Structure 1
Amino acid sequence: MATFSGGYDNDFVDQPPKSLECSICLLTLRDPMVISCCGSHFCEPCIGRINTNRKPCPLCNSPDFTTFLHKGVAREVNALRVYCPKKAQGCDWQGELGQMDHHLNPTANYRVCGFVMVDCKYKCGGSFERRVIDSHETDDCAKRPIEVQVAFLARRLEMLATENREIRTKFEAEIISLKAENTSLKQEIEARPLPPVPPFYFTILNYEQSKKDNCLITSPPFYSHLKGYKMRLQTFPNGDRTGQNTHLSLFVLIMRGEFDDTLQWPFTGRVTIDMYSENLKQWTPITVVDFKDSPVDRKCDRLTNGSWGYPQFLPQDQVAAEYMLKDGTYSHVRLRVNYVELY
């Protein structure tokens, strides 16, 4: 290849045809000249240099020749599609070679490469890529006029105001959403049935048969108070331990409940038990199950179920005489947890 290069070495979209190649520099023809001696085509810079030095034609070796611009070939060259020389920097433009000068013109306003370096119009001494020069001149340049600075501050304030409105709108929407969620949760909580609390009523159904069968009869669970201790009654109609076959035995069982994490342990409250007197037709206080008096090995903590009560709660003959309701072939005994007192 010749050391002198006068043709185009651009990055072409498609490889140019061989007919548009300069025989001297082996590049695409720049300002293609046709030579009179053999009709070959050369770049104007390449053949001009040979003409200036009075050298013969490089192809036919004719000492005398003239050259002139071949406009048809020039149109072919200008129509070749090329990539922008700033492609590596990020410019994605591609177009005809004849449009390249306009694309790279830093003073043009249309189809201008954004990566061409441009001097600041306020003569601050800096050069910037065309795509950011406007931002520099309006927002950053130390030599920009005072009215430009005022306009920049006005835009900045408007932008901050817009951001504040957006933030406020977002927070208002979140507040509305949280209020709706809170209302929904309240409705859900209100719709839930409240846990039973004293006074809590429990009936030992078919008491005499349960006594014959030596059954353990337990009540449904109830709570000492709202969000309190979960507990239930345990009754042995035929007695338990020292009350076997002679007494109605009764115990209060402390159970694991959903509010245990917020309660004090061990449980040391007092549970007041009433029974309904069929003779007097009224509720009669019978006893108090006081967990404060339970032995150490019977203390109720939140990890285990524990109970306390009386194996000899009430003699069976007294239950039958005063507290048992006869209902045909059935008999029932009614109990009531009147209240739970916490220490």
Structure 2
Amino acid sequence: MSTSSSLDNPIDQYSHHDGFEISFVEPPKELPLKCSICLELLTDPCILDCDCGSNFCKMCIETVKKKRYPCPLCQQQFTTIFPNKQLQRTLNGLTIHCPHKADGCSWMDELGKLKKHLNRMPSSETRLEGCGHTDVLCQYCKTFISRKDIPTHETETCPKKPHTCQYCGHSSVLDDIRENHWLVCPQFPVPCPYECGERPQRQGLKIHVKKKCLLIPVQCNFQYAGCKVEISRRDMANHLKDNVVDHMTLMSIKHREEVSSLKETNKLVQKECADLKGENKRLQSQLTGVNGATQNLTSIMVKLEMQLKHKASAIVPVQPPSSEVPPVRFVVTDAKHLRQQEKEWNSKPFFSKSGYSMVLNVHLCGNKDGYGSHLSVYTYIVKGKYDHLLIWPFFGSVTITLEDQELGNHYTYSLLYTHEQTNGEGGAREQTNGEEGARRYHDTLTSGWGWSKFIELKHLNPNFLKDDCLVFQIDNISFSYDL
């Protein structure tokens, strides 16, 4: 039987489980080709242990067995399914046409090679190998396209393929470039609104219209003289050439008007100059009086400042009890908790000799760059019974000592409450913001002033840390108005 007759005769075509028709070049008449259950081309043929000896697709007969039905042909119960490998080899050796022969595929080979030819579930390396009429998933838009069309689709027409704007180099996907980017691309060529034929870049359109477009209407160069003609830039040269006499006449008239106007303006300017000279003399007289008053005020301010400093130094409040003024010792007990973030120690309030009340705070450093590595020491000004007699804010120094309890090599720093600032740590003068030295009206600790890195924990040797205790001494609190 010829190939053409086999394709023209529907009897020679057999449905396949995968949804296409199989056409044999020479259909064997003596072989069973169809499954008696699905009536499609046998796939993985099997026989049963019943008497009929019929062949079924493996998937079809396993479904029957699972439901405990008898053989669909002889109605006998069966227990075992045997793969008919000989029939499968025979079927695989039959020559068939490609299912896409009507679409133009000329492939013709053994049935066993059909799966490889169709390559319907390819890997990324083999997706372009096999029948050109098999649908393949586009790697960009995820739609199925014939394999023969995939290269052109993915490189030229796929709306989701990566694409670079040929004008500015912006990268995106094809449909975004065309539908969105080109609407705003600064280098995209756009037509001139005056239809001069030029297509400048979008970012240069204004310059083109203003300086280059030959069809844009422009005012005559002699507009200032009275010429009201407005024509295209292209025709302006001819207009100027053809109207020289008219333009000169307009310029002459304009010149006479300007000379007359300048004469009037000159008279007004001379009158204003005379008025300004008189006003200048009056202001100079007033300025002399203001300078004298300023000198008097400066002298008064100097005297008042000297009096204020004298009064500030003379204020001596009620003397605090000697047990509450420096030197004051503060013992940090249970210092083994130094490496716990939440642990901190506050001393009882103590006074300076002039009556300022303070508290010493000791806690673990909480800086991001030194967390858990340093001991922090701060002083807090607190509410005191002599506050109404004192000068605020507090400006002065506080001397704090961490005692060496064995050898006497103490660790001492002086803390300044001042508006000045110099570089360095330890005893360096650091700038406050004014709140640290302010008077307190509540008993809470706010706005302390001190060192977040008073001493590194690794330097706390047994001489400092003895019997799980640290001893601090506040040696001096001095007030100085000049700081």
Q: Which structure ranks higher in relative contact order (CA pairs < 8 Å, sequence separation ≥ 6)?
A: 1
Q: Could you say which TM-score interval applies, normalised by the shorter chain?
A: 0.3 to 0.5
Higher strand proportion: 1
TM-score (norm 1): 0.39
Q: Normalising by structure 2, report the TM-score.
A: 0.28
